[in-house]
Homo-oligomer: A and B are copies of this chain.
Amino acid sequence: MGQIREITIQSRDRCELIKLDAEVARLVKESGVGEGVCYVFVPHTSAGVMINEGADPTVAQDIGAKLGELVPREGPYRHNDAEKNADSHIKATLAGSSVILLVSNGAPVLGTWQSIFFCEFDGPRRRRVLVRISEA
């Protein structure tokens, strides 16, 4: 029940918001927890996780575009290594490294328009998302 479960992701673009709804729902169901809390944690520093609208894909596109405008790839960054990904780290902090979901009747509780998005800010890469489900 309380073990750490893992989702693996292969991102395809540098900046890409990838829905995790189906995988998270599957892990919650497999956990056997009826009423509880689901913790979704990203163990990376140039990626994050958020909950936002999943019905219209232009919302995720607008979020990615605005983050790219606020934190452009080129800039007076000190973290000027081979990867050139200072902007990715900053965006990861703005999105956040985890989300929590309430679990009820064996499923994550999401609003009508909500989806869970893995936020790739420095892809394409193979990534991991850690999930734990606890009883309330």
Contact A109 B41 (CB under 8 A): yes
Q: Which B-chain residue is minimally distant from A2 (CB atoms)?
A: B136
* Interface residue SS majority, chain A: mixed
Could you tell me the distance between the alpha carbons of A34 and B41 in the complex, rounded to whole angstroms? 18
Judged by a CB distance under 8 angstroms, whether A123 is at the interface is no
Knowing that A53-B89, A132-B136 touch, tell me 14 more A-B residue pairs with CB under 8 angstroms: A2-B135, A3-B35, A36-B134, A39-B100, A41-B102, A43-B109, A43-B110, A52-B92, A65-B76, A66-B75, A97-B99, A98-B100, A102-B132, A111-B128
The residues of A with any CB-CB pair to B shorter than 8 Å are 1-4, 35-37, 39, 41-46, 50-53, 56, 58-59, 61-63, 65-66, 70-71, 75-81, 86, 89-90, 92-102, 104, 109-114, 128, 130, 132, 134-136
